[in-house]
Amino acid sequence: MSLVNHRRTLLPETFSSGLNLNALRRHPAGNILIIFTLLEIICIIAAIGYPDQFRYLSPLNIQSVLRAIPQLGIIAVGVGILMIAGEYDLSVGATFTLSALSMANLFNSGTPLGLAVAGGLLTGLIVGAINGLITLKAKIPSFITTLGMMMLLRGFILFSSGTQTRPFHPGSFFETMMTGSAGLIQFSFIWLLLVTLAAYLLMDHHRLGNHIYAVGGNREAATSIGVKVFRVKLSAFIIAGGAAALSGMISTVRVSSVSPIQGQGLELQAIAACVIGGISLYGGKGSMIGVFLGSALLYNIQDILLLLRAPGFYLDAFIGAIILVAATLNRLIQKEP
């Protein structure tokens, strides 16, 4: 730190942002972006070289991948925002089902579709708000609060609707809007892109996003500078609940029914997608593009294994290995000065 010449050092490079591999790697989503791109390049080359053995680029495969990603992706965006705020939500899988069930039950009992959808979304927002209120007011770790909420909701779902699958046929316009397709483009994937974009704008271009990073990154600093920690964290809980509801409703439209066991395991997959995408387990760090790529990578690898005709039990093992590698990599990167 010298007091001379500082003006010169401050000047020209300030706003340059050329492509720089080191800078990219320092970005929270940099590593996942590099890994994802490499994987895609390898797969595309392999698919062009062996189009019959490795049908990666077949329209059917592309469609099925694009259809599969949004369910996890939309949940993971909400969970990622909450993790950046320094909290967890293990109840998103159950919220996913409960919201879809609320929507289907409302619609099947004669409520107009728009209100039924609003009811489903509201269910998710309310569950998120309750999670947040209990966690923040009673000062319980959110891991515990939302674990309790997950089991409570699962029990409630089974109690209220048994093990039966509920049909949901909202009509073709709505179905097309949520889960239709035009050529290779899947509308549910467009929803994921929109949700990711909205989340990116929130986290990087909005005041609330700045505060979410701050309360997760250094709660004391945020408090001492006057950031309303309670309000900010509560918002993040509500966002996570809302994202789970949205994903649940879109998935329900896709399969035209709600099953009580739908959504089980999504809570952990969402955290996995976030970790792979570079979200810190300690809060304050991560990016929405990373969460998107994390979700995409999870399904991509499943898809590749399926195309290679790997036995089913390999899938979980591979995903597990990826999570371990990703978490370790992120930890190592964080240690860098």
Residues that bind another protein (CB under 8 A): 1-3, 5-7, 9-10, 13-15, 17, 26, 201, 205-208, 210-211, 213-214, 216-218, 220-227, 280, 284-285, 337
Closest CB 198 distance from another protein, rounded Å: 12
* Cβ neighbourhood burial of 253 (10 Å; 0-12, 13-18, 19+): buried
Give the C-alpha separation, 81 to 284, whole Å. Answer: 9
Closest CB 328 distance from another protein, rounded Å: 19
Give the C-alpha separation, 328 to 320, whole Å. Answer: 12
Our CB check for another protein shows the closer of 69 and 202 to be 202
Our CB check for another protein shows the closer of 6 and 137 to be 6
Closest CB 87 distance from another protein, rounded Å: 15
**Two structure tokens written together for 144:** 């515990």
Closest CB 134 distance from another protein, rounded Å: 25
Our CB check for another protein shows the closer of 14 and 172 to be 14
Closest CB 28 distance from another protein, rounded Å: 9
Our CB check for another protein shows the closer of 26 and 331 to be 26
Our CB check for another protein shows the closer of 106 and 222 to be 222
Q: At what angle do helices 288-307 and 30-49 cross, to 10 degrees?
A: 30
Cβ contacts of 241 within 8 Å, gap of 6 or more: 78, 89, 92, 95, 124, 125, 126, 127, 128, 129, 131
Say if CB 230 and CB 134 are below 8 A apart.
Answer: no
